[in-house]
Amino acid sequence: MKNKVISLILVGAMLFSLGIGTSGCGKAADTFAPKVPAASAPSAKLPEQISGKLTEENLTVSQDGVFFTVEEGSVLKDTEVVITLKQDLPPITIPGNEEGEGEGEEIIPTVYDFSVTGDTPLGVMELGIPCNAPAEEVFAAYYNPETEAWEPVVFYYDAARKSAVIKATHLSSYGVFTIKNEHKRHAMLSFSNSLAWSEMDFAKAVAMLEAAQQDPDTFYADCFSLLSQSISIQNGISFNLADAMTGVTNSYVPAFGEGIKKSAAYLGYTISGLEIINAYLEDDKRTMVWKTVEAMTGYVLDEVSALAGTTSMAAGMFSLGVVNYALNEFISTALQGRSDMYAKAYNLYYKEKGRKTADWVHLIRGMVEKGTDPEETGKAIAAEIKRYAYEFWEDQTTVGEYAQDANPGAWSSGSLGGLNDKIKQEISEANRADLEKIVSNILNRIQIENKNKMMEDIRKELLNFQKKMNSVVTITVKDSKAQKEPSHFAGAILRFTELPSRIQDPEKWQAVISEKGTAKIQFRVLAHLLADSPRRMELVRKEGDKETVLIRFRAKFSVPESKLDLADLYPKTDFPKNIGGSYIVSMYNTTTEKTIDDLTLTVKVTKEVSDGCYADLYLENNGSVYLKGNYFYRYATGKVNYALGDISFSSAGSDGVAFKFDAYDNQKKVWGSFTGQK
């Protein structure tokens, strides 16, 4: 089956800075060296500019391994081509490490700008740039002037010509570069030719699209599983994106989490659609393939349009339906037994007044692009072919004139010499069969073009997904109350309370609060997910070996910056009176160093007096009871009279009430710290 490659797409930003090598095209940027791309071979000099002309007969402009090739019939008139070596575009960057440190490495690609005068040729253009290197080390991209960024493209490596061949549907500046280091290649996978999906076939693709209609949760899980079947990183951590989505949902603001989810869903749809198109193009039983997916096509296209706003999958599935109709309804076999004399007249007419291949290419493309229903579009194409094939017979004068011109001396002017409907049909149907072969070829070329566009969209979305997962989160801390005096939390440590023990550098996940109440913590989204998506944080003051927890709270992160104002965490002097109600509580066990979430505290006020109230407190989790009894709560201090621990309530926000409970063991040491909010 296909190589398991796609699961490595996210690994790149997790790798520490490794050496990068180039061979034959493009090179690592050097601060002191001019940005000039390496040549295709040590003794070869890349041409600075190439010019030529594309015609109906000449489909290629080339020089010294650089070439521009178009499909037959893709230009209606002679087209001037200019290919220019570019040396003023920015380098391509490989991401830095997972803590957000480092700017990554830069590569200067070998870049050519491909342009034409007049209309861009239709169909898929092949653009060749020399690159003498092993195929797995070769990468390609195009420069998007609107975004001022390099984007991945569909290409293959031609070892015989020692060139990267880019399959383009639009003209731009295209670059080729090489990466020797395997880990760095994984970081740039969406730019490589080695793009494949493990465990994906036609049956799996159909099952995913059916799940999208009937069981969205399963579909989303399949999408993330498709993108990552256990990513393994250099330190041995096993990671699955399907499991990580819970962390994204809980730890990040909805806009970012939904963005990750939509990106994965779009990739699930388009990769499935691409697999279906591949099956159709490669299968002998094409009708069976189409019938399997025809019913779900409308739903899928609506969903994809809502997710990504792209037309590539819509065009791909639509043209699949047109090709299917054409093959089953009007692509026929040539009839035999035409009449030679009338055939000569017929052929002469179409030679002088008929359409060339380029005319058919433009006509059929226009009908497919404007079509709204595959079957109706197929019928319209069939009707146009038939009309065109019988056009010659519509005017008897025309028939007579061309018959005489085609058969001089053997024709009597004004006589049609026994012409009948059978002869007309034989000659027209023979021509119609030839035309249908041309149209069939055009439709298949459109299908392949749409498939390439889908591949390009998938590569771009993979890059977008990779960027989301490698986004740097910066927690920026300030204290708006520390204007004239030091912050209440100066010298305290801000840190996560739930970092797993396998994290080897926990000091990078914390920061010391300055006198002015400022601090900063940075991490990448992917690194955060690998650390089990912690969101519970605490401010701790250390004195020797003793630690005092000042406050614990839950955070929800934004990308790229999450702002924290310590003024919101200052101790409250106005203690609440309305403590009755239900609280969601977390417990941190100081012995096991583990946290248990989702405990429930129920507070029921039973009697109010002038300086406080009596209340029933019941704290439990799945049958385990941690606090039960009727206790006195004093309004002036926010404290509860309790001998086996320290219980307090405080104001939280405009109407909220926070709960804190440090439970003592028989040595009066805190064994468990409970915090919660109503």
What are the pLDDT digits (tens) for 106-128?
889 999 999 998 888 888 899 99
Q: Where is 677: in which H helix or E strand?
A: strand 670-677
Tell me what percent of the residues of the chain surpass a pLDDT of 90: 28
Q: What pLDDT is stored for residue 402 in this prediction?
A: 87
When pLDDT is averaged across residues 10-32 and rounded to a whole number, the result is 41
What is the pLDDT at residue 223?
79
Closest CA to 188 of 204, 202, 177: 177
Question: How high is the pLDDT of residue 11?
Answer: 35
pLDDT beyond 70 at 657: yes
Lowest mean pLDDT among 23-32, 282-291, 377-386: 23-32
Output the DSSP codes for 70-109.
--TT--SS-EEEEEEEE--SPPEEE---TTS-S--EEEE-
Higher pLDDT, 531 or 338: 531
User: What is the pLDDT at residue 22?
Assistant: 37
Above 50 in pLDDT, residue 404? Answer: yes
Tokens of 216: 């969205």
- Return the pLDDT at 183: 61
Cα(631)–Cα(227) distance, integer angstroms: 54
From residue 100, give the alpha-carbon distance in Å to each of 251, 498, 500, 508, 512.
18, 20, 20, 11, 19
Smallest Cα–Cα separation from 389: which of 434, 332, 344, 323? 434
User: For the chain, what is the total number of helices (H) and then of strands (E)?
Assistant: 13, 31
The one-character DSSP state at 507 is: G
The residue ranges of every structural domain in the chain are 6-191, 202-296, 340-467, 472-569, 581-677
pLDDT tens-digit map of 416-464: 566 788 888 888 888 888 888 888 888 888 888 888 888 888 888 877 7
Question: Which one-letter amino acid corresponds to residue 473?
Answer: V
What was the pLDDT predicted at 15?
31
- Mean pLDDT for 76-87 is 92
Per the CB < 8 A criterion, the answer to whether 345 and 399 are in contact is: yes
| Higher pLDDT among residues 201 and 236, named by residue | 201
DSSP code for 120: P
The CATH topology of domain 581-677 is Lipocalin (2.40.128)
**Predicted pLDDT at 333:** 47
pLDDT level of residue 2 (50, 70, 90 thresholds): very low
pLDDT at residue 27, rounded to an integer: 60
User: What is the pLDDT, as a whole number, of residue 250?
Assistant: 74
How much is the pTM? 0.64
- Residue 429: what are its φ and ψ, rounded to 5°? -70, -30
* Residue range 218-277, pLDDT digits in tens: 887 787 777 764 333 333 333 455 566 677 777 787 777 778 778 778 788 788 878 777
Higher pLDDT, 291 or 124: 124
Residue type, 304: V
Q: Which of 127, 117, 126 is nearest to 78 (CA)?
A: 117
pLDDT for 428: 87
Q: Measured on CA atoms in the order 109, 114, 120, 125, is the torsion positive or negative?
A: negative
Q: Tell me: domain 6-191, CATH 2.60.220, correct? A: yes
What integer is the mean pLDDT of 131-135?
Answer: 91
Tell which residue, 4, 10, 7, 458, has the closest CA to residue 198. 4
Tokens 């009894």: give the residue: 629
Asked whether residue 367 carries a pLDDT value surpassing 80, the answer given is yes
pLDDT above 70 for 477: yes
Contact 123/97 with Cβ under 8 angstroms? no
Q: pLDDT tens for residues 522-542?
A: 988 878 887 888 888 999 999
Q: At what angle do helices 357-370 and 374-390 cross, to 10 degrees?
A: 150
Indicate the CATH number for domain 472-569. Answer: 2.60.40
Identify the band that residue 303 occupies on the pLDDT scale cut at 50, 70 and 90. low
What is d(CA 76, CA 452) in angstroms, rounded to the nearest whole number?
A: 23
